[in-house]
Structure 1
Amino acid sequence: MSSNKESFGKTVGFVFVVCLVCAALVSFSAVMLKDKQVANKLLDQQTKILEAAELLDVAGKDIVGTFNKLVEAKMIDLDSGEYIEGDPLLFDERRNARDPAKSEKVEDDIAGINRRSHTAVVYLVHNEAGKVQTVVLPIVGSGLWDLMYGYVGLEADLNTVRSVVYSDHKETPGLGAEVMNPKWKALWPGKKMFDEQGDVAIKVVKGGAKKGDEHAVDALSGATLTSRGVEYTLHFWLGDEGYGPFIAKNRGGLN
């Protein structure tokens, strides 16, 4: 009996030591890799923003250099549409949306986000002459399974689409995940987000958009809810509760 107790005690002790060593290794790895993870996350964000501005071919392998040269990140107050002081690198929309002090309950929540940060970051993309040619706006809204995060790139008229790019989603592979398909993304450039009255008019059409309809894009085949989520997300973020005030103030010219 004593031998069994001794054997059991050694086994428990061994397992305990192994657990401690593994925990220490995981903690050490997390600390050592944190800077690299942050850098990789930033690089992915910069890549998506350049893609939304249709500048990936220009950037080539120099994503960071091209971004730093041509892209200006600015904080805005969403309610007023005015620029505000703040560090865009420290801004975290997901964190803000969870903080009641930094966000608000959405009244007409067609995007399904529940709460919206008081502030946002917009990306002004300049050409070589220093003139703003594209504005990239971060967007977030519900798909079939969860929130989908992305960017919409608009020309300086703040109406004509350059690109709609999704960067983070949990949609079904082969269906809702087709938001990442280059063929579907290629349908967006040149479309108009607003009609002549200034109302958000873009729509994602099940069965296919009519030829020549500048406000319509084909829906994703077999992914009705995801397609509807994209449309609702754009209507929300380009409307009064999203970037609407900022767009209204800057249609006459960006600087």
Structure 2
Amino acid sequence: MKNSYVYTVVFMLVVSAVFTLLLAGANSFYKPKIEENELLAERTAILYVFDIDQSGSAAEVLKRFDDNIKDTELSGISLYEYSEQGETIAYAVPFTGAGLWGSISGYLGVSPELDEITGLVFTSHSETPGLGGRIDELEYKEQYRGLVIDAGSKLAYGEDGGGQIDAITGATSTSNAVLKILNELLDETISRLEVA
């Protein structure tokens, strides 16, 4: 019987069922911890956009977030508002757009006057490590912090293009995709929030 076709199929089905149940059980067991870590990663990213300290334990980071930041909606745009003593300091606007190999998601921080970028962070992307994946590097993200923006003007790369930011060498498609995503986001955000 061990050499029969039926035995092989039944054996494969039983082994597959056992491992499927083990994986499903592990996923169910760890799901709350996974969700907790995803929330912490998102909150930490938003704190980065506002240039707020992200160090400390998970409880400290979440408290710092809850004390200063609220989820709100302005002119139909869902965003996070950073305020101190009742004064709005900045907004973090979520974005998702097409990259070279998949979607790029993150948050762009802007001042309440919509004239300065307070920070940029990417929360997920499928870009090539070492090339387009360098958008996660501090050097790339930090060049956006404090960048002055004007309604109607576009972000651009390099001095020749009149830009204030540098593209990633060897990752032209990803660099252009990020620029397109951010320019579209800024156009929409500025036009909708200026009306409010």
Give the TM-score range, shorter chain: 0.7 to 0.9
Task: Specify the alignment match of 1:20 in structure 2.
Answer: 17
The separation in 2 between residues aligned to 1:249 and 1:134, in whole angstroms, is 17
Question: How far has the Cα of 1:7 moved from its partner?
Answer: 4.8
After TM superposition, the structure 1 = structure 2 runs for residues 46-57 of structure 1, keeping only pairs within 5 Å, are: 46-57=43-54
Task: Specify the alignment match of 1:155 in structure 2.
Answer: 111
Task: Specify the alignment match of 1:230 in structure 2.
Answer: 178
Task: Specify the alignment match of 1:72 in structure 2.
Answer: 70
Task: Specify the alignment match of 2:155 in structure 1.
Answer: 202
TM-align CA RMSD: 2.1
| SS at 1:209 equivalent | coil
Distance 1:39 1:166, change over 3 A: same
Runs of 5+ unmatched residues, structure 1: 83-119, 251-255
Runs of 5+ unmatched residues, structure 2: none
Question: How far has the Cα of 1:22 moved from its partner?
Answer: 1.3
The separation in 2 between residues aligned to 1:10 and 1:68, in whole angstroms, is 58
| SS at 1:232 equivalent | helix
Question: How far has the Cα of 1:133 moved from its partner?
Answer: 0.4
Task: Specify the alignment match of 1:174 in structure 2.
Answer: 130
The separation in 2 between residues aligned to 1:183 and 1:51, in whole angstroms, is 14
Distance 1:181 1:209, change over 3 A: farther
Q: Deviations over 1:169-218 (max 9, x none)?
A: 11111111111111112211221222xxx214222x1xx337xx7x6211
CA contact (8 A) 1:200 1:238 kept: no
Q: Say which of 136, 144, 148 aligns to 1:188.
A: 144
How many positions carry a matched residue from both structures?
Answer: 192
Matched, 1:132 2:88: yes
Letter in 1 for 2:69: V
- TM-score, normalising length: structure 2: 0.87
Task: Specify the alignment match of 2:168 in structure 1.
Answer: 220
Query: As a proportion of its length, which structure holds more helix?
Result: 2
Distance 1:12 1:64, change over 3 A: same
The separation in 2 between residues aligned to 1:12 and 1:147, in whole angstroms, is 40
Question: How far has the Cα of 1:6 moved from its partner?
Answer: 5.4
Letter in 2 for 1:66: R
Distance 1:14 1:67, change over 3 A: same
Question: How far has the Cα of 1:234 moved from its partner?
Answer: 1.2
The separation in 1 between residues aligned to 2:10 and 2:178, in whole angstroms, is 54
Distance 1:149 1:17, change over 3 A: same
